[in-house]
Amino acid sequence: MQEDIKKGRAKGGMARAAKLTPEERKAIAQKAAKERWSIDVLRATHGSSDRPLRIGSLEIPCYVLSNGMRVLSGRGMQSALALGQRHGAILKEFIGRSSLKDFINNDLAMVLTSPVKFIRPGRGGKTASGYEATILADICDVVLAARKAGALSGKELDVADQCEILVRGFARVGIIALVDEATGYQKDRAKNELAKILEAFVAKELQPWVKTFSVEFYEQMFRLRGLQFPGNGVKRPQYFGHLTNDVVYRRLAPGVWRELKEQAEKDEKGRLKHKLHQKLTPTLGHPKLRDLLTSITTIMKLSEQWIDFKGKLDRVHPAFNETMLLPFDLEGDTGKGI
């Protein structure tokens, strides 16, 4: 009896489905997909908005999800295709154009109607939508095939030109990735990139001393610490050196502060034999330091107290991610006095 009821329900369901129009069936499928995503949204384990996929001058936010799927931001794809970012449905509207209908298969069309929902990395990560990374190449194939057949016109041809740029970029990035994987070089890429930065910023030989830190810089430092400025000729508190490392050198470029410290020569009492900035290259390191000091001094002038200054500095010139060992008396620094 129970089995007959189940069969009856199944037959009734199929009968109702047969009476539905294609549009009604599509709406029901989309509603079901939406409900499924609301229950089980994948979380991205890798990726962030500030580390996009770069192809020439184009930047597309990319992520890897917990199931291993590589996805590209939907709006990022729209921008890369020169479609703009007015709203999230531009891509779907473009692919639905009559000029492309003869060149796109049903599978790709359906995928573009149901973007992948995922949660971005980090605490409180927001839900985002995107598409599996390979879809971008599929879209480019469709547009370029339509252009070859003479089916495009107007701004569609601009999109086709952009697709050609992307396809060439995919080829270059792909061959580089394959060579790196085959040779094992991908493991050393990060170290080599850091080495290039250090070579550009840190000199192999000691540079002649040139006055770099202005009187105004130290005058503002004394003020923000709640101390009376005694003049530039008076010896400054020893811990000012630690503060300078924190607010200046750690914000110059990745790894530079640590490299400068490692190369610094010390006397028998542990004091530096030369200023850290004397190890900066005259062509890049020293000019960058002077520009940074100008900006930091301006931020100092706009601040009332040391804590206020540090907050503004962290927003404008965040320190590169390096652990800095502070002397015991600077741990828990209140921002006042010596």
**Residues 100-132: tens digit of each pLDDT:** 988 988 888 888 888 888 988 875 667 888 899
Confidence at 174, pLDDT banded by 50, 70, 90: confident
Question: For residue 152, what are the domain limits?
Answer: 41-187
Residue 147's pLDDT is: 94
Q: Based on the domain organization, do 92 and 161 belong to the same domain?
A: yes
Q: Based on the domain organization, do 204 and 311 belong to the same domain?
A: yes
- By the 10 Å C-beta count (0-12 exposed, 13-18 middle, 19+ buried), 257 is classed as buried
Q: Based on the domain organization, do 54 and 161 belong to the same domain?
A: yes
Residue 296's pLDDT is: 94
Confidence at 320, pLDDT banded by 50, 70, 90: confident
Q: DSSP letter for 267, please.
A: -
Residue 298 lies in a domain: yes
72: nearest Cα among 151, 142, 159, 140: 140
Residue 36's pLDDT is: 45
User: What is the arithmetic mean of pLDDT over 171-188?
Assistant: 78
Other beta carbons within 10 Å of 18? 8
Using the 3D structure, point to which of 187, 208, 233 is the last residue of a domain.
187
Residue 5 lies in a domain: no
Structure token digits, residue 31: 């509603």
Q: Based on the domain organization, do 206 and 134 belong to the same domain?
A: no
Residue 159's pLDDT is: 92
Residue 26 lies in a domain: no
Q: Who has greater pLDDT, 292 or 201?
A: 292
Residue 217's pLDDT is: 93
Residue 329's pLDDT is: 45
Residue 161 lies in a domain: yes
Q: Based on the domain organization, do 174 and 261 belong to the same domain?
A: no
Q: Based on the domain organization, do 294 and 218 belong to the same domain?
A: yes
Per mean pLDDT, which of 6-15, 22-31, 132-141 is the most reliable? 132-141
Residue 16 has pLDDT above 60, yes or no: no
Residue 49 lies in a domain: yes
Poorest-pLDDT segment among 11-15, 40-44, 195-199: 11-15
Q: Based on the domain organization, do 52 and 136 belong to the same domain?
A: yes
Residue 297 has pLDDT above 90, yes or no: yes
Give the chain's domain count: 2
Residue 188 has pLDDT above 70, yes or no: yes
Q: Who has greater pLDDT, 287 or 51?
A: 287
Confidence at 266, pLDDT banded by 50, 70, 90: confident
Residue 119 lies in a domain: yes
User: What is the arithmetic mean of pLDDT over 182-194?
Assistant: 73
Residue 31 lies in a domain: no
Using the 3D structure, point to which of 136, 154, 187 is the last residue of a domain.
187
Residue 13's pLDDT is: 45
Q: Based on the domain organization, do 130 and 215 belong to the same domain?
A: no
Q: Based on the domain organization, do 76 and 139 belong to the same domain?
A: yes
Q: DSSP letter for 328, please.
A: G
Confidence at 26, pLDDT banded by 50, 70, 90: low
Residue 161's pLDDT is: 92
Residue 4 lies in a domain: no
Residue 101's pLDDT is: 87
Q: What are 65's strand-pairing partners? A: 44
Poorest-pLDDT segment among 28-32, 64-68, 148-152: 28-32
| Residues 31-51: tens digit of each pLDDT | 655 544 444 688 888 888 778
Poorest-pLDDT segment among 10-24, 46-60, 176-190, 261-275: 10-24
Residue 143 has pLDDT above 90, yes or no: yes
Residue 176's pLDDT is: 78
Q: Based on the domain organization, do 169 and 262 belong to the same domain?
A: no
Q: Who has greater pLDDT, 330 or 138?
A: 138
How do 62-65 and 58-60 pair as beta strands? Answer: unpaired
CA-based Rg of the chain, rounded to a whole angstrom? Answer: 29
Q: Based on the domain organization, do 183 and 240 belong to the same domain?
A: no
Q: What are 116's strand-pairing partners? A: 130
Give ∠ CA 52-56-61 in degrees, rounded to 5: 15
Using the 3D structure, point to which of 152, 167, 187 is the last residue of a domain.
187
How many CA atoms, within 13 angstroms, populate the side-chain half-sphere of residue 189? 10
Poorest-pLDDT segment among 226-235, 241-250, 287-296: 226-235
Q: Based on the domain organization, do 51 and 160 belong to the same domain?
A: yes
Residue 2's pLDDT is: 41
